[in-house]
Structure 1
Amino acid sequence: MEEEQEHIYTKDGTTDFRNKPAIKKETGTWKACPYILGNECCERLAYYGINTNLVNYLKFQLDQSSVVAINNVTNWSGTCYVTPLLGAFLADAYLGRYWTIACFSVIYVFGMTLLTVSASVYGLKPPCDENVCHPTGLQTAVFFIGLYLIALGTGGIKPCVSSFGADQFDDSDEAEKKKKSSFFNWFYFSINIGALIAASVLVWIQTNVGWGWGFGIPAVAMAMAVVTFFSGTRLYRSQRPGGSPLTRICQVLVASFRKFRAQVPRDKSLLYETVEQESAVKGSRKLDHTEQLCFFDKAAVETQSDRIKGSVNAWRLCPVTQVEELKSIIRLLPVWATGIIFSAVYSQMGTLFVLQGNTMDLHMTPSFEIPSASLSLFDTISVIFWVPVYDRVIVPFARKFTGHKNGFTQLQRIAIGLAISIFAMLAAGTLELVRLREVRKHHYYDLKHMPMSIFWQVPQYFIIGCAEVFTFIGQLEFFYEQAPDAMRSLCSALSLTTAALGNYLSTLLVNIVTEFSTRHGRPGWIPDNLNYGNLDSFFWLLAALSVLNLGLYLFVANWYTYKRPVVSAH
């Protein structure tokens, strides 16, 4: 009878919306996923509806120079990937993923509403005459308040949605666990459906109908995302928040440094661990001891002073599982760091690729022009093409050679994407080199659009889309799987901060090359009129950094040890 009861409920500690143990047949798996994927699709439509064309809004509506506009876009994008650290901490420690998504979604909707108002309401909308706008300080301030409210709102959604979706599959059930890898593929697919609509329909509306409509439609999409998410409440499985992960990390650090002279026993079974079957960390399975980073094992060496009146002092003695949590985080950091250059490459789609496209012939037909920012839809088309190809063709084919159930390990998948991204920068640099030769040959310097089709940009967008499918999805799955159970939102946020630092790195590189390349009265690599610049040199720089980054990544990946959860006795 007890065995039957065990098979009714999930074994990974998830609960239903009433905070009771989740029943397998009634909750989770693919039946809960459409609501999560629908939420993500609408939210990404809203995000990319702003991000894709933001550089043009800043340049032409807020009258900013190219360098200032590029830096404002990358700084905002970077902030959107830093705030997830706050949302992840609240989710893992106190609120849980469900309520964190719900609360921050409301903030997001407020930000979208303010952004729409700033672009459409008289007095807040910048006045324009003869294609030149003259925004006041107040109008610019209102726009940026709305923009950064969105950055705060996305901080509670980004780190939680992918992890919350993965929570719908029981790790201890082999049949469900196999489906989890496919979930990450289709999760990223849904992101790009939203991005596709943003890059095609919304960018056209912003350019040809008006920015008020262009921001208003994503605002409605975000409101729909909230409704969609709440619709699936009864079907969701949730992990209980496990208390502050930062406190547990600090406890291991303090305990290990307090006992830096203690000898770690050769027999690791003598290290302290709770005798109960469940882990001392709420919402987490026990973890097996690993040999790396053995200094921190000192925190689990029991001495006479570690107990106060029979109870354990958590700042002097930590169970092996808690020590292994810290080790898991430290092992993730080198892999995490190698994602920064890739994110800097990826961020060019929303900045320099758009400005490069602005200089080219935008005509699809003699009477129809495509906005330069809409070329990012080829990145999205690439992702939409490669996700099912990867899931249905590449994985079964690779499985025959590697023997791995998912075709490639997560680290191998990331490496392939890093290698592909190098070719995206080479394609962009080659195109710019050819474009500048035509400018100099025919003296097109002062032409707004030179007679060279913008569709020559398609290869660089398509290659980046292919790299995304390998690297970004690989990172999503890797950071979820390798994170301690009670730190999954935090580790998802950690993976997102590579995008933040990639954007900030792009800002730094732009500022550095502008400083050095504009000396002695030269126009520099990235002037307002790119026909006088050397944008190709910036792409070569990113390609070179990507090659160095790939070499470092291969070294780091070879060193990495995967975490080992303790198999449940029942």
Structure 2
Amino acid sequence: MEDEEKRPLLDLQPSGSCKDDDDDGKNINGGGWRACLLILGTELSDCLAFAGIGRNLVNYLTGVLGESNVAAARDVSAWTGTCFLTPLLGAFMADSYLGRRTTIVVFLSIYTMGMITLTLSASFATPRRASSDGNANTGDGVLRATVYLGLYLVALGVGGIKPCASPMGADQFDDAAPERASFFNWYYFCVNVGSLLAATVLVWVQDRAGWWLGFGIPAAVMAVALGAFLFGTRLCGLRTSQTPPGSPLTRLCQVVVAAVRKRCVELPGDCSLLHQLPDGDHRIIEHTDQFVFLDKAAVIVDDASPAASPWMLCTVTQVEEVKMLLRLSTVWPTVVFFFAVTAQMPSTFVEQGKAMDTRVGPVDVPPATLSTFEVVSILLCVPAYDAVLMPLARRVTGNRRGLSQLQRLGVGLALSALAMAYSALLEASRRAATAPTSIMWQAPSYMVLGAAEVFTSVGLLEFFYDQAPDAMKSLCTAVSLVAVAAGSYLNSAIVAVVAWATSPEKGGGGGWIPDDLNQGRLDCFFWLMAGLSCVNLAAFVFSSMKYSYKDATN
């Protein structure tokens, strides 16, 4: 097999009729939506299992392991954070050594083992109560070790699937195919279907039928997904890339080192004098004028030759790969704040709901269940975007995607600011009302944020995949996923600063977000988030105006 470095990531052929090499070196035809169904099914299974654990994990740790509420909340946060960080490991392995298909198979196997381990722990566990120090009873060491072994095997398995599934699905279509944008829409649709099934069916099974069945069902689903992926890839003609020759991070470091070592060298007036791959090489990336300092890595000095050390002389293509990452880094921080806004749904939105009238007719609605409106909004907006908005926008803009990638991100950022402004107005109205305000007035906030996710969350996956260097698509997808964790951490920091700054006594309680919201000003906090969202949107627009697309058709 020739190295992946020596051929394009995708051979440009009509969608649904791709050609690639399998592990035996034979060509297989396929790809397109037929192969994507296998990938979407794998991702749906992943989200069903992940959400099936995360939605009710606090109750499992307190009711089965006997942990205190504080310890359980701490352990759930640590596990969730790990699940958002392990994609960096899985993406690095995929882009550097294993390739995406092999990485999914390996990590899907680990994921399945983790689910089986959790199921076994639940099958012989009995309810416990926390000991006097707030931790699990000392006699439960084996059970505790089994539970956390299963949890962190799952966290590791997530790390290999999340950054590889969406790039592999996009690989099934040619660069110019509009179906690629549709794939990312339906990918996110499946993510939310899995989450909805977990929040309704699996949580009910765990609470009513027992934890062993609540974990056993997703364990069986993951085992089926593993078998289907193993044996279905050849049947559906999955387009795959060959195993990468080594770490792309080394290539990036070579550019930086070479540029620094030749920092005193003057750049030639003609960029054609820079060291580049031979003419006709399909890997060639044309020179751009941004970040010109890095171009020094490709300057041929008197004592250098094309055979010089790669730590001294790099190609223009290598330099442009680094520039692509730098351009992406200007967009990433603005998206992080978007996820700080969406982090209000499981936090301040729930607190606001507790202060409202939770009776809807004869039913007492738990405030946390209002998040269902977010999921419903996503499930409605994805088909509407794909079938209605995209074709209409395509007629107006002439862009094959309808909206450009950055325009799509910007719409989501604007909607998030609108949701914060509505929540602020609702809170002010609630505090001024003489009668309790119905919790159903929160539904528009959830639905607008759900629509915002269809634009920004889905758009982010597509943007980072499309604009990443070919050898780093999984890694860049993982970086886009880390934005979710970064947004949660940023929200925690903002809340802590607000609580400190508005507290009557520094470090004390009260302020804008006290335990009794009737004594606070949650509306001011929402206005703050709305204002910061507008500032963030302005920063995004500014960086977007200077952004140079890898593909001019975007």
1 CA distance for matches of 2:316 and 2:421? 47
Q: How does 1:21-36 map to 2 (within 5 A)?
A: 22-23=27-28, 26-36=29-39
Shift in CA distance, 142/256, structure 1 to aligned 2, threshold 3 Å: same
Q: Does 1:419 align with 2:378?
A: no
1:394 aligns with 2:410: no
2:324 to 322, 325, 328: 328
Residues 93-172 of structure 1: pairs in structure 2 closer than 5 A: 93-116=96-119, 121-122=124-125, 125-127=127-129, 135-136=136-137, 146-171=150-175
Distance 1:265 1:427 in 2: 55
Note closer, same or farther for the CA distance 1:542–1:218 as it changes in structure 2 (3 Å cut): farther
Shift of 1:418: 0.4
Which residue, 83, 86, 89 being the options, matches 1:86? 89
Q: How does 1:274-289 map to 2 (within 5 A)?
A: 274-275=277-278, 277-278=280-281, 285-289=283-287
Give the match for residue 49 of structure 1.
Answer: 52
Counterpart-to-counterpart distance in 2, 1:426 and 1:212: 44
Change in CA separation of 1:460 and 1:98 when aligned onto 2, cut-off 3 Å: same
In structure 2, what residue type is equivalent to 1:82? L
Alpha-carbon distance in structure 1 between the residues aligned to 2:207 and 2:337:
31
Correspondent of 1:504 among 483, 489, 493:
489
Aligned equivalent of 1:561: 548
Offset of 1:518 from its aligned partner?
5.3
User: How do 1:38-77 residues align onto structure 2 when only pairs under 5 Å count?
Assistant: 38-54=41-57, 62-64=67-69, 76-77=79-80
Q: Which residue of 1 aligns with 2:336?
A: 340
In structure 1, C-alpha distance between the alignment counterparts of 2:240 and 2:34, rounded to whole Å? 15
Whole-angstrom CA distance in 1 between matches of 2:353 and 2:203: 14
Equivalent position SS for 1:551? helix
Q: Is the 8 A contact 1:86 1:156 kept in 2?
A: yes
CA distance in 1, matches of 2:145, 2:518: 32
Structure 2 counterpart of 1:298: 296
What code does the residue aligned with 2:372 have? L
Q: What does the per-residue CA deviation read over 1:376-428, in whole Å, with 9 as the maximum and x for residues that have no partner? A: 22211111111111111112222232221211100000000000011222333
Whole-Å separation in 1 of the counterparts to 2:49 and 2:428: 34
Task: Give the drift of 1:532.
Answer: 5.8
Q: Does 1:192 align with 2:192?
A: yes
- Residues 130 and 137, structure 2, Cα contact 8 Å, conserved in 1: no
Q: State the Cα deviation string for residues 183-215 of structure 1 (Å, max 9, x = none).
A: 111111111211221233234444555555444
Is the 2:19–2:30 Cα contact (8 Å) retained in structure 1? Answer: no
Output aligned runs, 1:337-416, within 5 Å.
Answer: 337-357=333-353, 366=362, 371-416=366-411
Which secondary structure does the structure 2 equivalent of 1:266 belong to? coil
SS class of match (1:184): helix
Partner of 2:454: 469
Flag the 1:143–1:543 CA change in 2: closer, same or farther, 3 A: farther
The 5-angstrom pairing of residues 545-556 of structure 1 reads 545-556=532-543
CA distance in 2 between counterparts of 1:43 and 1:378 reads: 22
- In the other structure, the counterpart of 1:568 is none
TM-score, normalization by structure 1: 0.83
Q: Which has the higher contact order (CA 8 A, sep 6+)?
A: 1
Q: TM-score under structure 2 normalisation? A: 0.85
Identity of aligned residues (%): 48
Tell me which residue corresponds to 2:20: 15
C-alpha change, 1:69 and 1:357, in structure 2 (3 Å) is farther
Displacement of 1:95 after TM fit? 0.5
Superposition deviation, residue 59 in structure 1: 8.2
Q: Deviations over 1:286-332 (max 9, x none)?
A: 2111111111111111123334xx73311111111111100100110
How many Å separate the matches in 2 of 1:72 and 1:546? 31
How far residue 103 of structure 1 moved from its aligned partner, in angstroms, is 1.5
Gaps of 5+ in 1: 1-5, 280-284, 443-450, 566-570
| In structure 2, C-alpha distance between the alignment counterparts of 1:461 and 1:294, rounded to whole Å | 44
Could you say if the C-alpha distance between residues 69 and 545 of structure 1 is closer, same or farther in structure 2, counting changes exceeding 3 Å?
A: farther
Change (3 A) 1:471 1:519: same
Q: Which moved more, 1:317-326 or 1:109-118?
A: 109-118
Give the deviation of 1:429 after TM superposition: 3.6
Looking at structure 2, the residues matched to 452 and 215 of structure 1 have their Cα atoms a distance apart, in angstroms, of: 38
What is the 5 A alignment of 1:221-300?
Answer: 221-234=221-234, 235-240=237-242, 241-275=244-278, 277-278=280-281, 285-300=283-298
Structure 1: how far apart are the matches of 2:491 and 2:148? 20
Contact 2:248 2:471 in 1 (8 A): yes
Q: AA paired with 2:286?
A: D
**Counterpart check, 1:428 vs 2:423:** yes
Partner of 1:489: 474
Task: Tell me the CA shift for residue 278 of structure 1.
Answer: 3.5
Moved more, 509-518 or 377-386: 509-518
Structure 2 letter corresponding to 1:377: T
User: Once structures 1 and 2 are overlaid, which stretch shifts more, 157-166 or 524-533?
Assistant: 524-533
Q: CA deviation at 1:506?
A: 2.1
From the superposition, tell whether residues 74 and 398 of structure 1 become closer, same or farther in structure 2 (CA, over 3 Å): farther
Residue correspondences, number: 528
Instruction: Give the whole-Å Cα distance in 1 for the aligned partners of 2:106 and 2:31.
Output: 22
Would the aligned equivalents of 1:254 and 1:315 in 2 still touch at CA under 8 Å?
Answer: yes
For each residue in 1:225-254, what CA deviation from the matched residue of structure 2 results, as whole angstroms up to 9, or x when unmatched? 323322422121112325211100000001
Q: How far apart in 1 are the matches of 2:404 and 2:289? A: 22
How much has 1:100 moved relative to structure 2?
1.1
Distance in 2 of aligned mates of 1:544 and 1:74: 28
Show the counterpart of 1:317: 313
| Alpha carbons 2:67, 2:129 under 8 Å: kept | no
Aligned residue for 1:3?
none
Change (3 A) 1:69 1:122: closer
Task: Give the Cα–Cα distance (whole angstroms) in 1 for the partners of residues 47 and 487 of structure 2.
Answer: 19
| 3-state SS, counterpart of residue 15 of structure 1 | strand
> Within 2, Cα distance between the matches of 1:352 and 1:148?
29
